[in-house]
Structure 1
């Protein structure tokens, strides 16, 4: 019988080396951060967008991001991510300072960074991202009926399905589903495929979306994960892709390809960043300049974020970039894509919905009034007619400004009303739940009394009284009748004894 050659016993050093190689390979495989713009760009290119879709997209806080993707037809290669670069940034985080230390200087990642990088138009209302059960809304009942858990694949399928519909509800639901996809694919990405029902609550009401602090929520989600897992960067979740554009904004490692673009992520070529920063340890001395100052929006960016994005008076039709017309009159201007030196003429505080009026104030160069009058009328362009024309135009412009201010106030009241309606629905749901609980307790107390237990009134005293007794509930009637009947029977039986 032939014996097999005896295998050499591995030394401890060889075992340790094998484990090290295995850990390195495993770590490389796990560097798969889910947050990226590529998925959103790819998803938006799959849909044939119409003007009716754009009407609802303008209501969302992500409109400038969506518009940039549609208008620029962004190639996927420009937004590739690199796990090693993201890990290098995360490892430069200092727990003691609560900031990133790059080249010996502390640089903070702020809400304003997120807002300017992605062009988010948001308010200051708090987003509560704690897990919540499936909401009972018309949107959920129609799109997610019979679904206990919602996944990324389901969101994509529902988005494609809604985009093909032609009903008014389909156009609105398409905008809601795209916002949901942007939340889970870019801004609040996790390590799994399950989508939290919490986001449904916030995207379901398009009119109220801009009132919430999306930039703060995105920043807090990412930084909370970095604080917990800065020693194991592959476990970090959230909008990690923002760190690459943030590094470009705060260092001179690469030059902006187009300095005046907005949102600011359009300024940077991530491929050039990865090539320039290859092998650089950010936590050590670096050869490029570091700017620790907080990002500040310039005047043009402030106007765009407020909705005053009519620059130069030119309208750009996105139908040449894959957007199909459904209204024939909704055109998008170029100010979101590249900022010029012209002043803002008009103000569009919110998206023009079916019943929203958008008014652009008149802004005609006064130097050409005389030429206009001469060319379009028989009135002699003397001093008096010119003065009268200028005064009339000034009065009309002032009236347009007043009208615009009233429009903004009405829109703000609508937003507040939407928030109050949401709170009212939540309160009604809690009251119904408490009523049901109180009813069940009364039923159990009645059953216990029938079998010789204490009366319901005694249980109420032990619980501190019936908290819902003043809401008009009459469920305690049968219990009181049963108690009185039992007392009469015992009183009649005692004399006989």
Structure 2
């Protein structure tokens, strides 16, 4: 339906998220097999994060940081402008016209509220309706991908920012995404250090996986997509999770090379260059979501790319990956 709303698309094209939104609208994501998924691949990487340096240290290699420039390339976001306001806690502002119009009764802005607002707004063919629809789609993108949280809620500050669509480009979104992710990882590590049984990691945790792919030869890019922006389209998302799972963290060297091994060598020393994902080994499992007409990071549609399939819901284990992207680490 969104493809038929050129008025909405015109508004979205003026936002810093357009290249990312269009990527999803065009169904460019590739996932050849989604029979399983696990948080273990992400967890072992996050455990290499040094909170003091805000860098990842893999084995004896030099610590490396995810930069705003990386986010620009991976998600196509802007890297200039003012810093985002408080993204942890924010108060609902009933004086804001957008909040008042579409979230008046909600105490917390949650995914279901966003979807409900979209379903109503997309039927509104007025200029005001088109602009508000674009705002809701931006809210959804932040909640489901760039600033994902446990419980699928979103801070009121983000809703207010997206409601003022004409002002949305003044913020530095690339820096905002990295700052928020680091802040949430630091908070989770602190909780675990203080003895809490479980600690949830929010934020755009998939950024970490794409960052590794961007700066290593862990995974070959899809032919013809070597320079695609956003760079998330360069790799088969299924193979990313499998490759991270099968490599030892000590072998990861950012801006270096990870040794490819022959398919008959034991897994653990490297990634076979020609190995294809199978149902047995695939670590990604995503549900189809048609609520808003572009897929969430953990809810991609599967219409036209290389035998894509949908999967089943994650089972809770010692490492639990919550709805959207948040990860919960539970002590055994």
TM-score relative to the length of structure 2: 0.67
Measure the CA separation in 2 of the matches of 1:82 and 1:191. 16
Report the Cα offset of residue 204 of structure 1.
1.5
Check the 8 A contact 2:219/2:240 in 1, yes or no. yes
Report the Cα offset of residue 179 of structure 1.
0.6
**Counterpart check, 1:291 vs 2:255:** yes
- Secondary structure of the residue that 2:69 maps to in structure 1? helix
Matched pairs, number? 247
Equivalences for residues 449-468 of structure 1 within 5 A:
none
Describe the shift of the 1:201–1:77 C-alpha distance in structure 2 as closer, same or farther (beyond 3 A): farther
Name the structure 1 match of 2:23. 68
Measure the CA separation in 1 of the matches of 2:91 and 2:235. 37
Measure the CA separation in 2 of the matches of 1:78 and 1:172. 37
Equivalences for residues 330-345 of structure 1 within 5 A:
none
Computing the radius of gyration from Cα coordinates, the structure with the larger value is 1
Describe the shift of the 1:100–1:73 C-alpha distance in structure 2 as closer, same or farther (beyond 3 A): closer
Equivalences for residues 70-469 of structure 1 within 5 A:
70-74=25-29, 82-105=38-61, 106-129=63-86, 130-230=89-189, 232=192, 235-257=200-222, 258-282=225-249, 284=250, 286=251, 290-291=254-255
Describe the shift of the 1:230–1:149 C-alpha distance in structure 2 as closer, same or farther (beyond 3 A): closer
- Secondary structure of the residue that 2:203 maps to in structure 1? coil
Report the Cα offset of residue 273 of structure 1.
2.4
- Secondary structure of the residue that 2:214 maps to in structure 1? helix
Report the Cα offset of residue 139 of structure 1.
2.0
- Secondary structure of the residue that 1:235 maps to in structure 2? strand
Check the 8 A contact 2:75/2:232 in 1, yes or no. yes
Displaced runs of 4 or more, over 6 A: 78-81
Measure the CA separation in 2 of the matches of 1:252 and 1:103. 17
Report the Cα offset of residue 162 of structure 1.
0.8
Report the Cα offset of residue 246 of structure 1.
0.7
Name the structure 1 match of 2:13. 58
Report the Cα offset of residue 87 of structure 1.
0.5
Check the 8 A contact 2:40/2:245 in 1, yes or no. no
Report the Cα offset of residue 133 of structure 1.
2.7
Describe the shift of the 1:58–1:74 C-alpha distance in structure 2 as closer, same or farther (beyond 3 A): same
More helix by share: 1
Check the 8 A contact 1:87/1:234 in 2, yes or no. no
Describe the shift of the 1:200–1:77 C-alpha distance in structure 2 as closer, same or farther (beyond 3 A): farther
Measure the CA separation in 1 of the matches of 2:20 and 2:39. 23
Report the Cα offset of residue 48 of structure 1.
4.8
Measure the CA separation in 2 of the matches of 1:59 and 1:193. 26
Higher relative contact order (CA 8 A, sep 6+): 2
- Secondary structure of the residue that 2:245 maps to in structure 1? coil
Report the Cα offset of residue 103 of structure 1.
4.2
Measure the CA separation in 2 of the matches of 1:158 and 1:59. 21
Report the Cα offset of residue 75 of structure 1.
5.4
Name the structure 2 match of 1:395. none
Moved more, 256-265 or 227-236: 227-236
Describe the shift of the 1:244–1:82 C-alpha distance in structure 2 as closer, same or farther (beyond 3 A): farther
- Secondary structure of the residue that 2:160 maps to in structure 1? helix
Check the 8 A contact 1:123/1:210 in 2, yes or no. no
Measure the CA separation in 2 of the matches of 1:228 and 1:63. 31
- Secondary structure of the residue that 1:278 maps to in structure 2? helix
